[in-house]
Structure 1
Amino acid sequence: MPLCASSTTPEPSPAALNAAAAVIEIVERNQTTDDTPGGSVILPNEVRINGTPILIPDGECIRVHEMTFGERNDEPFLVTVTMFARRVTIAAEGDL
């Protein structure tokens, strides 16, 4: 069953007020691009979230959702990543 953010959440916590979007890097390690034919092609082999490499199951895809450019450049990017997790906690904050 999908877990979605509630739109009826009461006042945000102080930590939530300081929350920021994640930095997602999809990179080919140890490579740079150049101007030669094919030199700008990369084969990503690492995904990082906020600078930390994460493990992606073999055969899973990373999906960067549609990006629209125009007058509004403040739209967030949506990225879907299937990853391994060491621990997933779903709890009331006071119970942690």
Structure 2
Amino acid sequence: MRTRQEIMLHQAILHITAPESVEIYPNNRFDVLKDKVLIARYGGECYVMAMLVAGHIDICVEYSLQPYDIIPLIPIIEHAGRVVITLD
């Protein structure tokens, strides 16, 4: 598996679990990010991580992941060419 490489932000496909989760963090300026990407998709949960590493999407934003949700996926995501960061 390999993520898409050299994608400009305006070409990126963004994925988020649910638009309601954005309201939890109103100061994160998600609306600015959403307006700069090619398309924003919603839904999918852990399936989205597979879509990311397979190169079907470019950015995944998740607001309510627990460590057990993401820690096993970090090496897979990094090996496929992406990084995992927090809102901080």
Please, what TM-score do these two structures have when normalized by structure 2? 0.19
Indicate the structure (1 or 2) with the bigger Cα radius of gyration: 1
Answer 1 or 2: higher relative contact order, Cα 8 Å, separation at least 6. Answer: 2
TM-score, normalised via structure 1 length: 0.18
Between structures 1 and 2, the one with greater helix share: 2
